[in-house]
Amino acid sequence: MTTDATASAPADAPDSDTAPDSALDSTLEHPVPPPAAEITTPPARRAAAAGWMLVAGVVLAAFNFRTAVTSVGAILAELRTGLGMSETVAGLLTTLPVLAFAGLGAFAPRLARRFGPRLLLTGALVAMSAGLVARAYAPNTALFLLFSLFALAAGAIGNVAVPVIVKRYFPASIGVMTTLYSTTLAVGTAVAAAATAPLEHLSGDWRFALAAWALPAAIAIVPWLLWRPVPAAPGATAARHLHGAHRSRLAWMMLLLFGAQSAIAYILMGWTTTILAADGMSAAAAGSMLGVLTMVQIPVSVVVPILTVRWGPRPTFLALSACYPPAIAGLWLAGGGALTWLWMALFGIATSVFPLILTLFGLRARTPAGTSALSSFAQSGGYLLAGSGPLAVGWVYGLTASWTVPFTLLSVLAVLLFFTGLYVTRERYVEDELAQAKPGQ
């Protein structure tokens, strides 16, 4: 079933306010190059080369979108000792990525319209590279937090910009491109979490271990510098930018879906080891169980976007969300037991609804402008909701010294995810809802 993918492909010309790089919309209809036999003219070869360069740019950029986050978590104890950071400030540091993703992500569509995707992501990756080095060698906590915002810029902007780029330049390959993007994102997240501590151990310097992640960010800049858009076709007309996503019920449901999914993921990342330790599991074993969740996500993320396009969003979503009830019940009632690996594997499958949501940003809009509006609105508000999850768990557990309320919160979030998912996986488009909405709503 591929109706969503084909219906969502933009039929008009590109947006006028997407900056000079939007010229590819009208000429590069198939960015992934056709068979060699069909590439017979210099323009065709240039279009093929531009397509492959854009693929490389998206993939390499995605690898870096979470390294600034997970590299800190891996050596947080050494970082706190080195900077004399209090527990309160350390809590702020763990919340900073969510705030950055919400705040900076809200400005991404406006920046993309002003500067174009090429300049936007190039600038974000440059800021990330510089920020990673600057924060690693910051002399005090205040500067560390400030430079961390620069380091998080690429991830915050990329969250919103990449789905728009995929929709605009790869309308017939949304599933494949989202697979590449989400899988590379998961790999980068896991590699930074796993490799930062060994880097610190080998070098004996936690600052070097953090600064080392500036190198892959710098490498990711290269394809964006080399990418040369094909000139616009004569007579191309412009489409108007989409405004007022808050008037769409679909946009609000996407916000709640994205927020519930992200809140569950952040709660699991932040509190799983503590929960398992309270159940009698050693710190090393608890850490390995969290690793099971991360490792399961990678292969599942490979197939979810493709299945979303081929089978349809609804069956894929139901299969993933069905893993939440046994995972929550198992961790709650039998955490620390022999089957803990199974509960974590089920969580890994269930939280892979994330790449499905990324795919839906393209499938639930008819135009790149619609994708931009939907992605920005849902992610900015969704990350604010997500950031409250781990904080609420910590606050409630501190008051009650019991895991009953935190697990109840997880269950409520799973129910919210399920019902909002049922709404957004039905074929509907944000442009249609906005067209029917009254201007004053």
Which structural domain, as residue segments, surrounds residue 227? 1-8+15-29+44-233
Q: What secondary structure, in 3-state letters, does 265-331 show?
A: HHHHHHHHHHHHHHCCCCHHHHHHHHHHHHHHHHHHHHHHHHHHHHHCHHHHHHHHHCCHHHHHHHH
Domain check: are 129 and 179 in the same one?
yes
Domain check: are 271 and 334 in the same one?
yes
> Measured between alpha carbons, how far is 160 from 109 in angstroms, rounded to an integer?
7
What are the φ and ψ backbone dihedral angles of 241, each rounded to 5 degrees?
-70, 145
Of 233, 254, 283, the domain-final residue: 233
Identify whether the C-beta of residue 357 lies closer than 8 Å to the C-beta of residue 317. no
Residue 441 in any domain: the answer is no
Residue 207 in any domain: the answer is yes
For residue 15, the 8-state DSSP code is B
Domain check: are 130 and 185 in the same one?
yes
Residue 35 in any domain: the answer is no
Of 216, 211, 220, residue with least CA distance to 162: 220
Residue 87 in any domain: the answer is yes
329: its two tokens: 């019940």
Residue 127 in any domain: the answer is yes
Residue type, 240: R
Domain check: are 91 and 114 in the same one?
yes
* CATH code of the domain containing 371: 1.20.1250.20
Of 10, 31, 13, 35, residue with least CA distance to 23: 13
For residue 140, the 8-state DSSP code is S
The count of structural domains within the chain is 2
Identify whether the C-beta of residue 207 lies closer than 8 Å to the C-beta of residue 136. yes
Of 201, 233, 265, the domain-final residue: 233
Residue 146 in any domain: the answer is yes
Q: Residue-wise pLDDT tens for the chain (441 aa)?
A: 444 433 333 333 344 334 444 433 333 344 444 444 444 455 667 667 778 888 899 999 999 988 888 888 778 778 888 888 876 677 677 677 777 777 777 777 777 778 877 788 888 899 999 999 999 999 998 899 889 888 887 788 877 778 778 877 887 787 788 888 888 888 888 888 778 888 988 999 999 999 999 999 999 999 988 887 654 334 433 334 456 777 888 999 999 999 999 899 888 877 887 788 888 888 678 777 877 888 888 888 888 888 887 888 999 999 999 999 999 999 999 888 889 999 999 999 999 998 899 888 888 888 877 887 888 888 888 888 887 887 788 788 878 888 888 899 999 999 999 999 999 999 888 888 888 866 555
34: its two tokens: 């056709």
Domain check: are 191 and 291 in the same one?
no
Domain check: are 252 and 371 in the same one?
yes
What are the φ and ψ backbone dihedral angles of 427, each rounded to 5 degrees?
-65, 115
Coil, helix or strand at residue 32? coil
Question: How high is the pLDDT of residue 229?
Answer: 62
**Residues sharing a CB contact under 8 Å with residue 87, sequence separation 6 or more, in sequence order:** none
Question: How high is the pLDDT of residue 243?
Answer: 60
Q: What is the pTM of this model?
A: 0.70
Identify whether the C-beta of residue 213 lies closer than 8 Å to the C-beta of residue 71. yes
CA angle 384, 390, 394 (to 5 degrees): 135
Residue 110 in any domain: the answer is yes
Question: How high is the pLDDT of residue 195?
Answer: 86
Domain check: are 267 and 133 in the same one?
no
Domain check: are 194 and 161 in the same one?
yes
Domain check: are 137 and 250 in the same one?
no
Domain check: are 221 and 153 in the same one?
yes
Of 233, 261, 292, the domain-final residue: 233
CA angle 381, 382, 383 (to 5 degrees): 95
Coil, helix or strand at residue 239? strand
Domain check: are 175 and 82 in the same one?
yes
Residue 37 in any domain: the answer is no
Domain check: are 256 and 387 in the same one?
yes
Question: How high is the pLDDT of residue 216?
Answer: 95
Identify whether the C-beta of residue 26 lies closer than 8 Å to the C-beta of residue 239. no
